Amino acid sequence: MRYRDKHVIVTGGLGFIGSNLSLRLMEEGARVTIIDSAIPGCGGNRFNLTPAGGRINVLVRDVGQAEELPTLLATANVIFNLAGEISHIHSMRDPLRDLKLNTTAQLHLLEACVRNVPGVRVVYAGTRQIYGVPRYLPMDENHPIDPVDFNGVHKAAADLYHGLFARNGSLDACVIRLTNVYGPRMAVNISGQGFLGNFFRRMLIGEPLDVFGDGTQLRDPVHVDDVVDAFLAAGCAPKLHHRIFNLGGPEPLSLMDIARIAGNEAGIGFGFKPFPADLKPIEIGSYYSSSTRLFEEFGWTAKIGFRQGVQQTLSYFRQHLNNYLEPRDWPRAQTALASASTTSNEPG
């Protein structure tokens, strides 16, 4: 039990990855405090923490106000920093909002940590989007940073803040740059959260999947349980030999194969569409990560294959439809669920 009796802070812990991480920390015996602004559109959902039964402390507070929590910060053994906005398209529509959430607030948080708990281990959820259009694949940590949208620019700045504080010895920080993450507790009801969130919403309400372009673009989707494993390993390692880690899924798949596998599990089809005008400028083509450094440092590898992960994720959402879909989608989701149940019970 690596985290037993440790006080662990998780920023953004009401969201998708943060809630899964918080629940695992609780299971390992940690005293977990979540700091989450609960800003609409960022994916926070109180239902995500239902299994905790009140055993996780939640503070609804902007991480940019962390200087107001000196006593809380001073008692932290580890800080997992997952706060922020992830939507690329939203960042292009409102770059100043994205700047505030992903850059200004992050700097306030880190400065508060330096003042109140200097040298603390901070594990930041970065993104592969900071690299922009891949110049080679698989992409490793040495790839140039050249983002194609404001979200990538602002996440890159926060990424570099963590690195700067680590280099000057103020914080023991590292960054895990994530690829397309999926799994239980995704914010499937919020637009702009990535194509996999949109896919799962359509799967739940029985609508065909839309593949933009010719479907040959590669991605390496990774299940949230694998992501949590990596964060836990980085948070408790006695010493960090590297500060930046790319994290990808078990194998690259084309968007067409992703849609085919997901659609088959949900009993729906898929079709091709041209890129919408607002998405085309920020499309990066094929991408998949090299996770070699994570393996060498922590022995981490992605274990959950995409088909297995889709089955597990669909099972979770089908049990909790009304907590993740908008009310307007409930009737279609119930119809799709009834159809899926009938199909699965048919002989042969």
Q: What is the pLDDT of residues 72-112, one digit of tens each?
A: 999 999 999 999 988 888 889 999 999 999 999 999 999 99
Give SS3 for 247: strand
The model's pTM? 0.96
Q: Which two tokens stand for residue 187?
A: 């914010």
DSSP per-residue string spanning 85-114: ---HHHHHH-HHHHHIIIIIHHHHHHHHHH
Q: How far apart are CA 251 and CA 66, in angstroms?
A: 38
Phi-psi region of 296 (alpha: psi -120 to 50; beta: other; left: phi over 0): alpha
* CATH ID of 7-186+221-251+287-305, from 3.40.50.720, 3.90.79.10, 3.40.50.2300, 2.60.40.10: 3.40.50.720
What residue segments make up the domains of the chain, in order of their start? Answer: 7-186+221-251+287-305
Give SS3 for 129: helix
Whether the pLDDT of residue 348 is over 70: the answer is no
- Residue-wise pLDDT for 175-203, tens only, equals 999 999 999 999 999 887 789 999 999 99
Q: How confident is the model at residue 347 (pLDDT cuts 50, 70, 90)?
A: very low
